[in-house]
Structure 1
Amino acid sequence: MTLVATAFKELKRHIVMNLITFLELTISVILVCVMVSAVMIRYKYYEPFSDVYSSQGLYCEFSVASAKGENMESMEDFIADDDIFQYLHSPEMIISSNRAMAFPLVENESVPCYCYSYNDELIKRYTPNLSDGKWFDNSRSADTLKAVVSENEYGWDVGDKIPVTFACNGWDGIIEVEIIGKLENGTKLPGIMHSHDGENNSNMFFSSYDYKDEKCPLVLFSYSQLNEKKVFQSLYSAMIKYPSDVTGQSLSDDQRTISSFGSLFSMKLSEINKNSIAYFKVQIYNYLPIIIVVLLLTLVSSISITALSTRQRLKDYGIYYVCGLKWKSCCIVNLFYSLIITVSSVFCATVLMIFSKYIPKLDQTVILWNIWVFISVLLISILFIIGSMMMPLIIIGKNTPKEVLAKGGI
């Protein structure tokens, strides 16, 4: 405890130099976290479906009203998940989003909304960011229909029950729907918009939904729950996985069949996987040099600042020696000194990153709190401590106690 107390006294004696070190390390930690998150955010939306992308299969996008055959005469002609298994060559799995024939009511009047449903496989694999409530639990119970909504102007919130008119096979009616979750504004959602950036990678399955831009609420349902009620649903986006022994001819035949259903775009999953991996490599090549430079600058600056600080503190070391503190103990004091600055900087950087979403122009900064960010922070902290320990060991180690006392003016 005496050595720790001594380290705190050292911090107070050289407050200007320590403040510069503190700010430098805080900024370095933030920069590294932002850079690592920028790389990992690209992978975040690929990971839940990585096994599907790396398999044999097709990715398809459909028109708003996809139908069996060339002409749609009624909603009964909508193409749905079950039709995929019926008309194609033995697909193994489908991950899909669907347009739901649902019309929420406010004061008995239908209001404009985007209404989609996710099938069980998609619900299980991906959970979007929520500002409140919870995600679907894959329950097929049709006792109470559940929904997750976006921000909206109608005052819909978690726990509310709202009337919704559904177009169903055999009947049309109004059912109360319980809101179980509320989407975070700007969250990424799969299969709600068809968007391509020209690269045709895994990003095209996802779109950011921002109510401020769309001016129209989004309502998500469970495909299974609506299916239980025989609500009409039209396939919108789908990943179709096949057994590994499926032939290329079968995939080509199924692409033609899907086109006849109103598919606007279809592509083999193997091609998307190839493009996605190439995309990740480009992102790593873009950000990795910046991360390495920040780490090296942290190491070099910590060595430089510590060298200057050590020479200024030679008198302190001389006093410690006169008072009976050995050189080894002086180095331990310096270790605690560096640890205090490191922990304080990491804590301050973490607080700033957490509250950045409440700061204008920084609210779009995304920090992923995962193992890779933790490892990066740990690495930069270790480099700083090593750099901070090197110069005191070198400077003190090369001088006898008498020389240190003389240089310190004692």
Structure 2
Amino acid sequence: MRYEDIPNVNAWKVDAYSLHQFPIDPIVVNIDDMLTKYYQAFSPMAKRNLLADLEKSCLAWKPPKPGNAAMDALLEVVKRRLAYSSGSIGHVYDNVVCVSYSVKTGEFVPGTDVVVYRGKLDDEQDMQQRVNNMKTAFNQARNFVPNPARDDSKTLKIFMAPEFYFRGRYGAYPPEIVAQILPLLRGGGNGSDSPVFKDWLFIFGTAISASIDARHHCYTCKSAQHIVFKRDPLDRSKTIVECSKGATHDVQEGIFGATIDNVALIQKGKQDYLVAKEYMSGIDFRDPGSGAYVKMMNAGVRKKFEPIATEGSVVSRFASKFDDERMGGGVFNIDGITFGMEICLDHEENKLAGVGNLQILLIPSAGMDIKRVRTISNGVTFNVDGGRANAHVYVSSVPGVWKTARSFALSGVLGNIEIFDSLMIPYI
């Protein structure tokens, strides 16, 4: 038998009927779960993550387990879809070189808890200057990587900057400025999608974004819990807002606060990916000592707003749509390699504790070091910290090994480049 595309879970259960007789093997239970999630996934990366784990589960079905035509067909279509989504067949890379942009982003003014700020006062000018500095850093970094690794198409070069690299004078950029960062980094003759960087994976640190959160509130009930939207009886193309406790209640729109996103900016070639930090910390804003707020423009005036964590964050008032990191969270698959990402406090709080099959774990941070191993045997954990302006690489062999780096001074911009020796990428 042959599947033209990934089967839905119901079709799979019919085709693999003999495998679904009690007691059901845990491998089959896991496959059922992933097929269900595959058709819930809305991003290409989430689907690719699930395909990568489906392949591992299908490959684990081997003697003395009984042969099954549906299992063989599922493995074949998964491999076919993986090759299509990544544009390649088999392992693209054998080795990895970790390249750190070690620069301080979490430095405090002496005697205070205010984060040092060295950027421009205008948000857009500040962002553009940081983009230019980042380009300078990764172009010089390429020259520092020794051959044969620099030009070896089987060696993946991972360039990573620390947490908080992109944030403005007032603690956060508006979303429209954050949206410009990756296109600007990629563009121009010295951009990250230049052919000389085809074997580079970039993590450009994190960017802090804040957007005004306006919502309706019933001033009669002093609550927003009973707000409903109804068709306007006088104009069916419009809606009206009411309180379900009373049509005459005083309902008005007000500003609740500023929704905060702290996202890692990931890019390889034409692919972009974002990973959001889930655990908010005090230094996510530049000036926590003067009150928990972020400054933003509203109606032409810069005002203070209470920060609100983004949807899915642990302290958010909005629950995440998924509890599986593969569905758009901290796990992503690029070129057949399964990566995990924990941004600073996420690592401390065990964000990826239940995730398996990680080959490389990335930790951009500002005040964090490597505390625990998440990867498979011989996996690589790479941390770049903006509090100390340094980097660490740990290999989860037996016993584990801390790797050393060579440091190179950058010309024209702050910080150093640290380059670790080439390491083999473990595959299951």
With the shorter chain as reference, the TM-score category is under 0.3
TM-score normalised per structure 2: 0.19
Q: Which structure dedicates a bigger proportion of its chain to helix?
A: 1
Q: Which structure dedicates a bigger proportion of its chain to strand?
A: 2
